[in-house]
A = this chain, B = another copy of it.
Amino acid sequence: MFESGTEWLRAEGSATDVVLSSRVRLARNLAGLPFVSKAGRGDLRLVLEAARPAIERAALDKSEVWIDLHDASEIERALLLERHLISNQLAKGKPAPKSGATEWPRAVCFGLPGERASVMINEEDHIRLQCIRSGMALREAWRDADAIDDRLESHIDLAFSPRLGYLTACPTNVGTGVRFSVMLHLPGLRMSGEIERVRRAASDMSLAVRGFYGEGSEASGDFYQLSNQTTLGKSELLLLEELDGRIIPEVIEYERQARQSLLSKRRWQVEDTVHRAFGVLQHARLLRTEEAMKLLSVVRLGICLELLGHAALGDVQTLMLLIQPAHLQRTCGREMGQDERRRARADVVRERFAEH
């Protein structure tokens, strides 16, 4: 189903020491059909039927993969979730949008190679287009999304109000329906104790701070997703200018300063922490997902600070995906219980780091 690589873990581009990936998401709904939360099963099927040919004609990339999630296996949906191609809600299929709807017709379509563009169908909105780029590249992601949106609109009729803009299920998305977000790696600010100050500042600027797996998830391994909250009354370019031109560069600068300050004030402790994390990853026989993410985060910091000559950023980021439960089971080719997964996780990590 997937190729091995996924754009957001490619570790290439600008400011990759702090920015994992940049993402633009557009919320769109089809004209003349009720929003997902109000739709019956028949309506949702109509959305799927209308959206599929339009998306395929709009062309996400060289080729597309379409997956009907209501027919997909649990592990297939978990894989899509771990690859950040679908949301938790869409993966689980609950809470279902309308009472009585036992099977929720929903799908995802993503472009190959790289899964840079993807569309969730019948999530909170009929259509949620996501364009992602490695590193700090909000403008490039925006250009991708804007182009696909234009092509899509030429093939399908979208709900739009001349006064409000694009109509969306949640009022915070009304207007441009755009959400810009960046996945940041902020171990320096966490270690220096400044992360809460950054969280508060972000909140004051109406920015949302989320974890590695989006809404409601914890900041696994010091990864934080920063995004705008509301879209009404601000143009895409103004939002982009704020985030790309000012706010994100400032956060990147804070994080870099925090790292340099740690290095100059507590160099030995930082080196010790980094090397121990690498040592545990190279030797452990059992690893939980959470612990592995924390250790990988520390190793990632070590690589960025040039303390670990023998490990590559790309390997660390690939592992962040491969250690997740569904990917682990796909790699091993079988379903596994928790204990077995912990062993397999340690094996996968050890093999990857033994090569260097």
Q: Which residues of A contact B (CB under 8 A)?
A: 268-269, 271-272, 275-276, 278-280, 282-286, 339, 342-343, 346
Contacts and interface: CB of A to CB of B under 8 A. Distances in A.
A52 B283 CA distance: 53
Contacts of A279: 279-280, 282-284
18 contacts: A268-B285, A268-B286, A268-B339, A268-B343, A271-B285, A272-B284, A272-B286, A275-B283, A275-B284, A276-B280, A278-B283, A279-B279, A279-B280, A279-B282, A279-B283, A279-B284, A280-B280, A282-B283
A284 B269 CA distance: 10
A346 to B, nearest CB: 7
Contacts of A285: 268, 271-272, 275-276
A342 B271 CA distance: 13
A354 to B, nearest CB: 12
A356 to B, nearest CB: 14
A302 to B, nearest CB: 11
Contacts of A339: 268
Number of copies of this chain in the oligomer?
2
Contacts of A269: 286
Contacts of A268: 285-286, 339, 342-343
Closest 4 CB pairs between A and B?
A279-B283, A279-B279, A272-B285, A272-B286
Contacts of A343: 268
A135 B274 CA distance: 38
A338 to B, nearest CB: 12
Q: Binding site of A, secondary structure by majority: helix, strand, loop or mixed?
A: helix
Nearest to A271: B285
Nearest to A270: B285
| Residue from A271, A278, A285, A286 with most neighbouring chain B CB atoms (10 Å) | A285
A305 to B, nearest CB: 13
A168 B27 CA distance: 91
A267 B271 CA distance: 32
A164 to B, nearest CB: 57
A326 to B, nearest CB: 22
Contacts of A275: 283-285
Contacts of A276: 280, 283-285
Nearest to A307: B285
A286 B275 CA distance: 10
Contacts of A278: 283
Contacts of A286: 268-269, 272
Contacts of A280: 276, 279-280
Nearest to A282: B279
A290 to B, nearest CB: 16
A280 B342 CA distance: 19
A343 B267 CA distance: 12
A271 B269 CA distance: 27
Contacts of A284: 272, 275-276, 279
A272 to B, nearest CB: 4
Nearest to A340: B268
A286 B283 CA distance: 18
